[in-house]
Chains A and B, each alone.
Chain A
Amino acid sequence: MAKPAPKAASKPAPKTAAKPAPKAASKPAAKPARGKSVESDEDFALRSLQMAHEDNKRFDASDEQLLHFYEQMLLIRRFEERAGQLYGLGLIGGFCHLYIGQEAVAVGLQSALTEGLDSVITGYRDHGHMLAYGIDPNVIMAELTGRQAGISKGKGGSMHMFSTEHRFYGGHGIVGAQVPLGGGLALAHKYREDGGLCLAYFGDGAANQGQVYETFNMAALWNLPIVFVIENNGYAMGTAVKRSSAETEFYRRGTAFRIPGMDVNGMDVLEVRAAAEIAFAHVREGKGPVLMELNTYRYRGHSMSDPGKYRTREEVQDQREHNDPIERIKKELAERGKTEDEIKAIDKAIRARVAEAADFAENSPEPDPAELYTDVLVESY
């Protein structure tokens, strides 16, 4: 691979594999700005956050923080595994998009938010983002089983989580639609001058929707406090990134709107957190939007009924074995002196927590039929 070693090492393999080599090779080199040999100040600004990130890649977590990240990621993993099982048993129906493999993204980014101030919005692969807030797994799982105790009373389901309390604005099923909505959330932060920002997540596939670029322009034009996060997991359903995208270096896609981009290893929670600090500080200083590309990988199918023929077993296995975000931190905990027994105890506690959520979700009552007619409007029709 022509990529420089440190970068290639920190990148998950599928992207490297999926991207054409010449492009990747030219990436870290200074951009030849319109034939000039020295880049202009403006071009520099577009890459300055990335350079800051390169200088200080990993967040210096305390033992306590590291443990917390580990627990959160593991909770997401086990929760999603259980959701997959409940789906298999017929207790969950419809669409169910698991976050397994991508845990470090939501955990790393959301750990850097200011609770109760910043807002978050995402697509349908949203269980992990809810759990990363510390929201009760019971009400998330009960939403998956479509019960009254679910966080959206069973009316929304897997794709449409929502938490007013945490300023989590959903859970959206129309690919890309959450991005302009995120622009609006940021507009509200700016208007209120509350110092908050909006974190708007979307996928590599969603990055090809037109409304994303309408929002980029507005956000840059109006200097909105928004961090756009492209979770690049390599695929949109069965379509690999290189088959859908002319520019596969997604962090560059804001360049035409003068939005600085950051290219981040989404498989290492500490790199994610470090990048988040840089991006959030930039936005909070009133310097306008940032575009972060989080390179990650989904281990499971797109949804539950994915034939999975668009990639090899080896590719998935390779990620699981060599790039797993949870194993990475587990190893680090051991290096910092956590014993095997202590780590096992954590695992056990999390399994118990997830089992409790599953029981709750299975045994909660179905919504009352009258719910068909409620919540359509604030008032009645």
Chain B
Amino acid sequence: MAIMTIRDAINETIREAMRRDKDVIMLGEDIAGGAGTAGGQEAIGGIWGTSVGLVGEFGPERVIDTPISESAIIGAAAGAALAGKRPIAELMFSDFIGVCGDQLINQIAKFRYMFGGNTRCPVVVRLIYGAGMNSGAQHSQAFYNLLTAIPGLKVALPTTPADAKGLMNEALMGDDPVMFFEHKALFGKKGEVPEGLHRVPFGHARMAREGGDVTIVAFGRMVSFAEKAADALAEQGIGCDVIDPRTTSPLDEEAILDSVEQTGRLVVVDESPPRCSMATDILALVSEKAFTSLDAPPQMVTAPHSPVPFSKELERAWVPSPDAITAAVRRTLDWG
């Protein structure tokens, strides 16, 4: 196993897929970057560095720098997918689903059903998301909950390099549209990555920590925060299960319910504002299907119901913290 960052894991996985499968192509803004200018073939490799070297190896016919036209980028990727290609389209910031929302929500999500199972649209949309980089209200949002709400889309959010590879391979080898959320603060996170065609099936959660006293379900970047909180609590003799669902659609309900049935206590950690979020989704699941197992009211640790602020201080307060998770765990233990 090689140790690498999530950034490199994504790059390598896409590279291997493009070598394996001629139908895999990439579209996005500045993903080649500088090609054809004095800067040479691969000056940038995307502002996130995830496509470094790809235009050099596969050429501009397969690694396509697009104009700033998100509707047309996503629409063209979807159309090419209907025609048998496997496009990977990049939304530089997940906030830009506002621009191409129709293609995602009314088009891509509906084809399979609306055309009576007669077609497939295996497009992978990469959405770079999340707060914590002082990017302000229009470049920091975590919109996985919005797309999870839409039937007809699969939604993945890897939190480790191994899962980035496994889920990306699964997306590229499956026949459904996948919304692939990558947290901008996680690109540099390192970990072991299995060699070869490593795949992680959708709908299978990862148990990041096993403790048995309290269940913490966390999403995206919040998984590392939950691990931090769990490690601190473990030193005080409190054991937490930390569940990383890895995909929100489909969702591994069983892993969550099994854990809650054992612990009787639930904390959900979600970087989105609280209303109609993954946090409320998990609480609804547990209250419907594991009500009698609960020993304390489930707790949500989320961002406030407000846009992401620019100021460093305010943003720090906006993003859920490991301390807030620890406090929520304690509330479930102190209850009653």
Contact = CB atoms under 8 A, between A and B. Distances in A.
Interface string A294-318: 0000000000000111111001000
A238 B44 contact: yes
Given A210-B69, A237-B33, A238-B34, A95 B136 contact: yes
B324 to A, nearest CB: 13
B47 interface: yes
Contacts of B310: 94, 146, 152, 154-158, 160
B139 A95 contact: yes
A366 B313 contact: yes
Nearest to B34: A310
B136 A174 contact: no
A245 interface: yes
A174 B309 contact: no
Interface string B123-164: 000000000011111110000000000000000000000000
B280 interface: no
A339 interface: no
Contacts of A376: 305-307
Interface in B32-78: 33-40, 43-44, 47, 65-72
A310 B29 CA distance: 14
B311 A237 contact: no
- Say whether chain B's binding surface is mostly helix, strand, loop, or mixed: loop
A167 to B, nearest CB: 21
B313 A146 contact: yes
A173 B139 contact: yes
Contacts of A154: 309-311, 314
Contacts of B314: 146, 154-155, 366-367, 369, 371-372
A239 interface: yes
Contacts of A76: none
B33 A238 contact: yes
Nearest to A236: B68
A146 B33 contact: no
B29 A146 contact: no
A156 B95 CA distance: 16
A156 B34 CA distance: 30
B69 A239 contact: no
A310 B43 contact: yes
B59 to A, nearest CB: 15
A175 interface: yes
Given A205-B67, A237-B33, A367-B311, A311 B39 contact: yes
Contacts of A243: 35-37, 65
Interface string A66-99: 0000000000000000000000000001110000
Most chain A Cβ neighbours within 10 Å, of B29, B68, B307, B318: B68
Contacts of A245: 67
Contacts of B83: none
Given A367-B314, A369-B314, A372-B317, A95 B34 contact: no
Interface in B266-311: 304-307, 309-311
Given A157-B134, A372-B318, A244 B313 contact: no
A238 B39 contact: yes
Interface residues of A, number: 48
A310 B134 contact: no
- Say whether chain A's binding surface is mostly helix, strand, loop, or mixed: loop
A176 interface: yes
A160 B137 contact: yes
Contacts of B307: 376
A175 B65 CA distance: 16
Given A94-B136, A95-B136, A372-B317, A310 B44 contact: yes
Interface residues of B, number: 44
A209 B134 CA distance: 25
Interface string A138-178: 00000000110000101111111000000000001111110
B306 A373 contact: yes
B96 interface: yes
Contact of B312 (A95, A146, A240): A146
A237 B45 CA distance: 12
A191 interface: no
A317 B155 CA distance: 47
Nearest to B135: A94
B67 A208 contact: yes
A369 B99 CA distance: 31
Interface in A162-209: 172-177, 205-206, 208-209
Given A311-B38, A373-B306, A156 B137 contact: yes
A250 B98 CA distance: 25
Nearest to B318: A372
Nearest to B306: A376
Given A239-B30, A367-B311, A95 B39 contact: no
B309 A94 contact: no
A144 to B, nearest CB: 9
Nearest to A371: B314
A209 B68 contact: yes
Interface string A229-244: 0000000111110011
Contacts of B71: 210
A147 B311 CA distance: 7
Given A157-B136, A238-B33, A369 B39 contact: no
Interface string B96-134: 101100000000000000000000000000000000011
Contact of B44 (A210, A240, A307): A307
Given A310-B37, A372-B304, A93 B134 contact: yes
Contacts of A366: 311-314
Contact of A93 (B66, B67, B312, B318): B312
A237 B139 contact: no
Nearest to B35: A243
11 contacts: A95-B139, A155-B137, A175-B68, A176-B99, A205-B68, A239-B67, A307-B43, A309-B40, A367-B311, A372-B306, A372-B317
9 smallest A-B Cβ distances: which pairs? A94-B134, A157-B310, A310-B34, A309-B43, A146-B311, A173-B138, A93-B134, A208-B67, A154-B311
Given A95-B139, A239-B34, A310-B44, 18 more contacts: A94-B310, A155-B314, A156-B310, A176-B68, A205-B68, A208-B69, A209-B69, A237-B44, A239-B65, A240-B36, A240-B37, A243-B36, A307-B44, A308-B39, A369-B314, A372-B304, A372-B314, A376-B307
